[in-house]
Amino acid sequence: MSHPLAYANQSLYHASILLSGWQRALTEENLPERQITLAYAPAVQTRLLDSYGWLLLAACRIRQAPDKPPHSVRDLPTLPAGLVHPAEVETCAQLEQGGWVAALQAPLTETPAVRRSDSLAVEQGISREQFEDWSQKLVSLAQQIADAVDES
């Protein structure tokens, strides 16, 4: 396993610990949900974005890991002349333009998701469930990139 791929998995693991703590705080603490959400969301987002950046580096087959991962395709190191980014990176670039990665990269709002008691609809905002979904998508992306690295 390349170093960036190992770092991506470590960041995903740390995000899962934070998500578990977030869920536990929501169910066990006698604190306002909004405050718990605002306390956990930035840390989880950072860990997920770090994982995403490490995955980008792994997809590019970069073995010398930087101190901090990039958080977008445009922040990747320049490739030597004549080389192009792998297909996985191009797919990520598209997801940054309007897919789930763009939503993960978006600045957090101060408003957590709110569910009205008379509706199943959830208004825009931060929710633990959304971060859980992004985490699962990153796990799938990690597997795709690991498979591609193994095949090369």
Between 42 and 111, the more confident residue is: 42
Q: 112-132: per-residue pLDDT in tens?
A: 555 555 555 544 578 999 999
pTM exceeding 0.75: yes
Residues shown for the chain = 152
> 94 is written with which tokens?
């598209």
Residue whose entry in the numeric block shows the structure tokens 């405050």: 35
Cβ(84)–Cβ(18) below 8 Å: no
Please state, rounded to an integer, the average pLDDT across all residues of the chain: 88
For the chain, which residues make up each domain, given as ranges?
3-151
